[in-house]
Structure 1
């Protein structure tokens, strides 16, 4: 481990600030144990090529690790590609054709997903300071199930 730390120092690598939380792993026991063990290390030269680089902790679904998103640039993607949504399978008349099933039927899928992930992240923030109570655990489980399907 010492050799690895020395290598990081010798190469001038550094850890980017982490948005969205301070820790990336937790042991789900009482009391909760939280550590930051996942990270991106970059060099000053690399950061010069990608000056807008950032890392963000994403909400976790089932793992004891949080995903980390490395964002290098703001890219305009143009027209949004088609994505099949599993929830369409639950809608009456799906077999007749799904071309007409749009925001009028399901609402903004991306906006709804973002809302669910924001709610999940709020529970992760609460859990970083204390254990969730039973009602919160049930609500978090509902959110995870909604995201998964």
Structure 2
């Protein structure tokens, strides 16, 4: 998580706080086992905030996911919704537990990046998506296989 925070700090991003319900994730359990967390955030830099000073972030309903969609209202009557599109890279803590994660992260951070922030983050997500794909591509199939095995017991 430290390396992720380093990227956020080096890109000078800040959290555009939300209105309404604070939590963006739920483990979907019942009673005392239920957990709500704020995992998803809308990050922007100072230049973006100056362009959209009246921007407001709100969290929509869970719909069919355990994560809420994030809605950004730039000004009254003009909303941009971040909806499901092509599969996106989602940074997970397990990535940092891999031996070569820090090597990949340091290599990317020391590249000469002469692009604007959105393109830099796009490049970073591409590097991490390729790296994570090579590391964890079989994981979903293995989980499903063992889930079926357990159900068969």
TM-score band, normalised by the shorter chain? 0.3 to 0.5
Q: What is the TM-score when the length of structure 1 is the normalising length?
A: 0.47
Greater C-alpha Rg: 1
